Structure formats: structure tokens, C-alpha cells
């Protein structure tokens, strides 16, 4: 495709030099509630990166051109980027993410953030991101400013949780706000695989009804696979007469809705949401004090839970 090419050598070297710094920055940003919807990795990045798949047929740095930008609500956009090779797919595995790069004029280092693509990984030619714009969000603000024809520098795809079909009989997904993106990637990949028979329960909590992004797609999957997918919604501040239950994702809700025996290796829980929500559900450990989360109180062992 004309006009889309790998990074210039100097740009690649510069980004590689700050790779570890950038991954640390991405994780810190998530703790500031800027990119909690994505998959921040520990400093140094994930292990075992495989040099296969990915835009252009291999993992590395790439430049993608924005094909379309669709406003989903007042602060969220769907951004569809063309791959360098329109005949190739993105090489996305279940589950994986990409890192986006841009360098503000007043910054010493590039802004690096993780995002989870939401497109069908088998469809060739593009990657699609769902991006929520945060107040003072340097990455999300930049991505929202892009117009069709503009380009974005990325690295990826990079593996996150390595999903194996039928490894678990019962799969529980707990998402808060834009944390739906890795959950939707997993739902899509599982249900589109005719050999995968795992049953899925998604518990999706948001502040307002406009934040129920991907609901149309979730409804379609639920109707197509009624014996495999069930979605439970909770809205903190619904409009009067809303069809959605008012409330948050609480211990009581989890106890009522989660699938499968909590003490069995056939059950797995995935979690992605704002830091406060994750702390309440999963708990956290600090130097001074620790907080036990709702899942722990319900009897779920830490190895039964994965946080994106």
C-alpha cells in the first residue's frame, strides 16, 4: 500500500531505546486512570515474544494509516487503521495488544500506551481500536485528534493471556467501562472458534448508559450463542425508566452471577476496569496495608483470576 512503510531506522532506534521506559510509563498511566481499559504490562514487557504474525507478517514497529473514525459517544471513538499489507491480518492471538507511539513537541520521550484491538483477527487488512478520551490524556487525546489519512506508529501485536480452547468450562469476565475491550476480544475469539465450547458470563459495569460501548455487538453474540454467552449489565446512574439495573459490580452481584465452582480448575475469572474497581474486586497489596477483594472473600484463589 503506497505511503505506508516501516519506521525510519533512526525512529526505530529511538523508540527501542526508550522501550522499557515506555512500558513503565504505560503502567503508571493506567494507575492514573488514563488507560485502565487496556493491558499495561510489567516493566520490561511480556516474556516470550514470538517474531511471527503481526502487521506486515512479523512483530515489530509499523506505521498504519487511519481509514475511518467513528464517534461512539461523547468521549469514545472507533478508529480503524489500514495494515501495511491489505492482504494480511494483524496476527492477533487470544489475547494480545498493541503499543501506540507518538512524540509531543514539548516532550523528551514518546508517549507509549497499550490498546486492545477489537476487530475479528481473521479479517485481513486492518486493526480497529476503541479509544476513550480521558481529561488530559496525552495518548487518548492524540488518537482522537487523528483524521482519516493520518498515520499512527505502533509496535505489536504483543501477547497477553495465552488462551487455550476448552481449558476452562466456565469463564467469567468482569469489565468496568472501557475495560470491555480485552473482554470483547476474548468473547469474539472464543465464540468464533467452532471447537471452543466454554461457557461465558460477562458482568459489565458502567457509570451511565452511554458508556455501554460494544452493546450492539454483545447483543448479537448473545442472540447467536444463547447457550454459551450471558451478559449482565449494571449502570451506576441510569436514566429514569431505564431497562438496566442500577448499581455497581458488588460482592453480592458476583456471588449471585458468577459461573462454575469457585474452587475448581474448570473455572476462570478475567478482570479489567478502573483501578478502584479492580482493587475492590481483586484486592491489592501495599507496603503498609493490604486489601482483600470481593473475589477473595468469596473464596476464589488468586490463580483463578487474571487481571488484564
Binding residues for FAD, as ranges, are: 113-115, 130, 132, 140, 181
Query: What single-letter DSSP state applies at residue 55?
Result: G
Tell me which H or E stretch contains 26: helix 19-31
DSSP per-residue letters across 179-239? GHHHHHHHHHHHHT-TT---EEEEEEEESSGGG-TTHHHHHHHHHH-TTTEEEEEEESSPP
> Under a CB-based contact definition with an 8 Å cutoff, are residues 2 and 97 in contact?
no
Q: What is the largest CA-CA distance in the chain?
A: 58
Grid coordinates of 154:
505502533
- Asked whether the beta carbons of 48 and 69 are under 8 A apart, the reply is no
Q: Distances from the Cα of 98 to the Cαs of 41, 60, 154, 167, in angstroms?
A: 11, 10, 7, 25
Please, which residues have CB within 8 angstroms of residue 40's CB and are 6 or more apart in sequence? 23, 26, 27, 29, 30, 114
- Backbone phi, then psi, for 227, in 5-degree steps? -90, -5
The CA R_g of the chain, rounded to the nearest whole Å, is 19
Choose among 204, 178, 183, 147: nearest CA to 268: 183
Q: Shortest CA distance to 214 belongs to which of 84, 72, 90? A: 72
Binding residues: 113-115, 130, 132, 140, 181
Amino acid at each position: 500500500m503506497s505511503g505506508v512503510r516501516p519506521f525510519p531506522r533512526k525512529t526505530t532506534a529511538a523508540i527501542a531505546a526508550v522501550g522499557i521506559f515506555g512500558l513503565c510509563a504505560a503502567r503508571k498511566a493506567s494507575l492514573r486512570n488514563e488507560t485502565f481499559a487496556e493491558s499495561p504490562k510489567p516493566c520490561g514487557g511480556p516474556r516470550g515474544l514470538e517474531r511471527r504474525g503481526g502487521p506486515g507478517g512479523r512483530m515489530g514497529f509499523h506505521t498504519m494509516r487511519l481509514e475511518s473514525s467513528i464517534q461512539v459517544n461523547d468521549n469514545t471513538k472507533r478508529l480503524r487503521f489500514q495494515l501495511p499489507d491489505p492482504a494480511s491480518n494483524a496476527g492477533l492471538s487470544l489475547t494480545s495488544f498493541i503499543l501506540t507511539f507518538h512524540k509531543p513537541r514539548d516532550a523528551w520521550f514518546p508517549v507509549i500506551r497499550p490498546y486492545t484491538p477489537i476487530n475479528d483477527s481473521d479479517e485481513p487488512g486492518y486493526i480497529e481500536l476503541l479509544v476513550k478520551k480521558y481529561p488530559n490524556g496525552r495518548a487518548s487525546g492524540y488518537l482522537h485528534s487523528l483524521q482519516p489519512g493520518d498515520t499512527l506508529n505502533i509496535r505489536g501485536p504483543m501477547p497477553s493471556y495465552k488462551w487455550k480452547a476448552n481449558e476452562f468450562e466456565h469463564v467469567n469476565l468482569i469489565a468496568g467501562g472501557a475495560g470491555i475491550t480485552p473482554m470483547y476480544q476474548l468473547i469474539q475469539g472464543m465464540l468464533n472458534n467452532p471447537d471452543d465450547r466454554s461457557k461465558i458470563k460477562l458482568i459489565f459495569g458502567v457509570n451511565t448508559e452511554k458508556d455501554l460501548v460494544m452493546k450492539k455487538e454483545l447483543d448479537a453474540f448473545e442472540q447467536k450463542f444463547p447457550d454459551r454467552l450471558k451478559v449482565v449489565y449494571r449502570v451506576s446512574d441510569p436514566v429514569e425508566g431505564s431497562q438496566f439495573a442500577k448499581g455497581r459490580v458488588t460482592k453480592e452481584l458476583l456471588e449471585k452471577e458468577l459461573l462454575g465452582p469457585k474452587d475448581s480448575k474448570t473455572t476462570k475469572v478475567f478482570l479489567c476496569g478502573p483501578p478502584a474497581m479492580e482493587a475492590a474486586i481483586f484486592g491489592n497489596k501495599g507496603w503498609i496495608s493490604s486489601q482483600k477483594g470481593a473475589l477473595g472473600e468469596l473464596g476464589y484463589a488468586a490463580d483463578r483470576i487474571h487481571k488484564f
